[in-house]
Amino acid sequence: MRLLITAGIVLLAASVQAQTPPVSPIKINVNSDGHELIKKMLDHVDQINYQGTFVFMHNGQLDSMRIVHGVVDGEVKERLTSLSGEPREVVRDDETVTCVWPNRNLITVDHSSAHHGIPTIVPRELESLTQSYTVISGSNSRIAEHDCKMLAIKPVDQFRYGYELCIEPKSGMLLRSKMIHPRGHLLEEVMFTNVQYLESVDHINFHPENNIKNFTWRKSKNLGEYAQTQQGSDKGWHVSKLPPGFSVSRINQRIMTTSDEPVHHMVVSDGVASVSVFIIKPRKLSDMFEGLSRRGSINAFSKEFDNHQITVLGEVPNETVKMIGSSVMHSE
C-alpha cells in the first residue's frame, strides 16, 4: 500500500521538500492588476515555444533541469532532462507522460496531467482565486534576464498553501514560483536561470535523447474515466465533509504501474490545489495502515474502511487531507 502513495505522488507530478526558514516579505499592494496578469499567464502558458533551464528547490536540495516546450501541429509537447541527480528524462504531450530512466534501463508511461511547463500549481479559473485566495500585486523583479511582476496568492484559511509568482507581463511567462505554508515558511521554489523564446519547435525536440532500444517498458492501464452519474465507477463512495471551497471534480478507475489492483480514484479540488483520494481493496488485510504521513509539501492520510484502504494525498496542509480522508464513506 505504501507503493500506492508513491504512485500517487508521481500522478501529482511533484517532488518533495523539507521545511525552510520563513519567506522574506515583499512590498505589496492589493489591486486588480494581479488578476489580469494571471489571466494572461493562463491564456498563454501552454502556447509559448521556449527552451531553458530552471532550478528546483525541494527536500532541502537543489535540482537543475533543462526544458523544451512548444506546440507541434496543435498539440502541446515538452521534454525535461535532469542536469543533476539521477539521469532521467520526462517527455509529455496531451495524452501521455513518458519517464526514461537510463541507469535502470526503464521507461514508464502514464496518462498526462493537464499542466505543462514550470512545475508549480497555478489556477485554471480566476473564479477560484476570488473564493479561496487573495491576489496581491507586488514589486517588479528580474529573472533570467527577463523583467517580471511579483504576485502573492494568499489563502483565506489553513486548508491550502499560498503561492508567490513572478510573471513576465509581455508574454505571460511564469519565470519563478514559490509554494508557501500557511504558517509562512517556504515549501518549494522553482526559478528559471535562462529561457529563450522560439519561433517554432520540431517533433525531434521531443524525442528521448537516450537510446531506448533495449529498455523495459511499464505502461499504466486506464479503465476509463466516468462522470459521477455514469456507469463504471462505484457511485457509493463519497466524501461527506469537505474543506470550504473544495468539491469533487473527477471520478475514475485505473490500474497503476505499481499495482495490478483496480483503484477507485477521486479528485477533490478548489480550482487551484488538488487532492487525490485512492480507494483499493487489498489482497491481504495485513497490508492496511492508518495515520498521517508527509513527504515535503505532499501530505497523506490513510485509514481502513469496510476492508478497503483509503489514501488521501495532495500538495495541501495535513489538516486538509485528514478532514477529507476521515469523511470518505460508502453507502448503497
The pLDDT value recorded for residue 322 is 96
Which residues share a beta bridge with 177? 165, 190
Distance CA 103, CA 38 (A): 39
> Domains plus CATH for the chain?
16-206 (2.50.20.10), 220-330 (3.30.200.100)
Threshold 0.75, pTM exceeds: yes
The pLDDT assigned to 121 comes to: 56
Q: What average pLDDT score do residues 287-316 get?
A: 89
pLDDT in tens, 182-194: 888 899 999 999 9
Helical spans, DSSP H, in the chain:
2-11, 33-44, 126-132, 318-326
CA-CA distance, 63 to 243, in Å (whole number)? 33
Could you read off the pLDDT of 29-88 as tens digits, one per residue? 445 678 889 888 888 888 899 999 999 998 788 999 999 999 998 899 999 999 999 999
pLDDT in tens, 16-43: 332 233 333 333 344 567 888 988 888 8
The Cα 164–Cα 144 span in angstroms is 17
- For 289, other C-beta atoms within 10 Å of its C-beta total 15
The three-state secondary structure class of 128 is helix
Instruction: Read off the pLDDT of each residue in 126-154 and give the average, rounded to a whole number.
Output: 88
CB of 155 closer than 8 Å to CB of 243: no
Confidence tier at 3 by pLDDT (50, 70, 90): very low
pLDDT tens-digit readout, 132-143:
888 899 999 999
Instruction: For 241-279, give the DSSP string.
Output: ---TT-EEEEEEEEE-TT-SS-EEEEEEE-SS-EEEEEE
308's grid cell: 478497503
- Give the list of residues 6+ apart from residue 103 with CB closer than 8 angstroms, or none: 86, 87
Q: Are 168 and 148 in contact (CB under 8 A)?
A: yes
Q: State residue 286 phi and psi, 5-degree precision.
A: -65, -15
